[in-house]
Amino acid sequence: MNAGSIVVVGASMLDLISYVPRLPVPGETLHGSSFRMGYGGKGANQAVMAAKLGSSVTMVVKLGTDVFGDGTVENFREQGVDTTHVHQTSAAFSGVAPIAVDEEGRNAIIIVAGANDHLGIEDVEAARPAIAAANVVVCQLEIPIDVTLAALRIAREEGVQTILNPAPARTDLPAEAYTLADIFCPNEPETELLTGGTLHTPDQAIQQAEVLRRYGAGAVVLTLGERGCLVVDDEGATTFPSDEVEVVDTTGAGDAFVGSLAHYLGRGATTRQAAARASKVASFSVAYRGTQTSFPEAADLPMDMHGVD
């Protein structure tokens, strides 16, 4: 294994971002104040976040043979992400994510997976050498679930630590997904959907994280938005606060967290060390507009965020 080596198996989307005075209700048309395009998708975002912090990152993804796909390949290269296992297909357009962001930084997102749905188990198997050489493998739920499970199985077979970010959450998540996750990293709504419980209080958050562990997950790192994150594992439960910042745009904050969590774990941090730092990185990202464009470089962070001591 190479220190700081990460493989991300997931989706890539082109973000189509509209800034609006408030989020529209069904049937309503609103005038937006501005529009921008950016590269996104949970897998791609997490890969870019880890690469920006200095990790060696390989992305496993499928794109369309269109201008969006070509641009995404170039963006990965510019961000320092290895594109050996970035494939393109003419069977579907590249994935897109239209996003509305209101004046308080809240967002609403529609995902059209497109070519991401054509990523196959054979593509992941072809990436086995890269997975075997990695320190951490990161997966989400934006690609076919059988492909995600295949990636997690290969990582387990090769003795590589796994992170599963169960987003977007689904009530029919197979039991195997929990047992293959060394670190299970949901947010609050995802946790409520998966457990059927509520997270209105800190005690409830711990209780629902324990439910996820009973499902088979290893450590649970539950993101709590502006309140930071909660780690629940064999050592108990610990909450790590986020930094107080003026929120401009929360789009991609969860991916900033997961990508930086993988980065620090890949550098040898404990789960608690990595979660504490990831919470601060996510706080940094919400102070800026955009998704990947809001992610900090290592040089943007305080010196005490660079190591794992």
Q: Is the dihedral of CA 205, 207, 210, 214 positive or negative?
A: negative
- The DSSP result for 84-118, as a single string, is EEEEEESSSPPEEEEEEE-TTS-EEE--B-GGGGG
Q: Cα–Cα distance between 187 and 164 in angstroms, integer?
A: 12
Q: What is the pLDDT of residues 245-267, one digit of tens each?
A: 777 767 778 899 999 999 999 99
The token pair at 18 is 């509209």
Convert 101-113 to b/e letters by CB count within 10 Å (16 or more is b).
bbeebebeeebeb
The Cα 164–Cα 186 span in angstroms is 8
> Where in the sequence numbering do the catalytic residues fall?
255
Cα separation, 93 vs 100, whole angstroms: 22
Q: Which domains occur in the chain, in start order?
A: 5-305 (3.40.1190.20)
Q: What is the mean pLDDT of residues 2-26?
A: 90
Tens digit of each residue's pLDDT (9 = 90 or more) over 41-94:
999 999 999 999 999 999 999 999 999 999 999 999 999 999 999 999 999 999
How large a percentage of the chain has pLDDT more than 90?
75
